[in-house]
Amino acid sequence: MNRKNIEHSTYDKFSEYEMKFKALGDKKRLEVLYLLCQHGKVCVCDLCDMLEMPQSKLSYHLKILLEANLIQKETKGTWSYYEINKVEVSGLLSEKLCCIFRPEDCC
C-alpha cells in the first residue's frame, strides 16, 4: 500500500473530527446540544429564550454545530427548527473514532 494514501485519508478524518471537537469545545454550544437533547426539535426563537441569548449570537453557534454535522435544521415557513443529529453525536466516541486511534479493535 502507498503510505501517502493512508496518510491522506487519515488526515481527512482528522480534519473532520477536528471540526466536531472544536464545535464541542464551547460551553454555549454544549448548552445548545444539551437543550436539544432534553427537548427534541426546538424552534430557534425558543432556544433564544431558553439560553437568554439574542438570535444573532445563537445563530453563530448553530452554524458551527451545523457545519460539524452535530445538529440538523428544518425550515418551516420563516421559522427554523433544530434537533440533535443522533447518529453523529452517538458515534463520536464509538467505533468511528476508535478505529483511527485503535485500529486493532476495529472489525
In the numeric block, which cell numbers belong to residue 15?
480534519
pLDDT in tens, 70-107: 999 999 999 999 999 988 887 776 666 556 555 555 54
Give domain limits for the chain.
3-101
CA distance linking residue 59 with residue 82, whole number of Å? 11
Furthest-apart CA atoms within the chain: distance in Å: 54
Class of domain 3-101: mainly alpha
Sign of CA dihedral 22, 28, 29, 33: positive
Rounded to 10 degrees, what is the CA torsion of 48, 73, 20, 94?
Answer: 120
Rounded to two decimals, what is the model's pTM? 0.79
pLDDT in tens, 3-18: 556 566 777 888 888 8
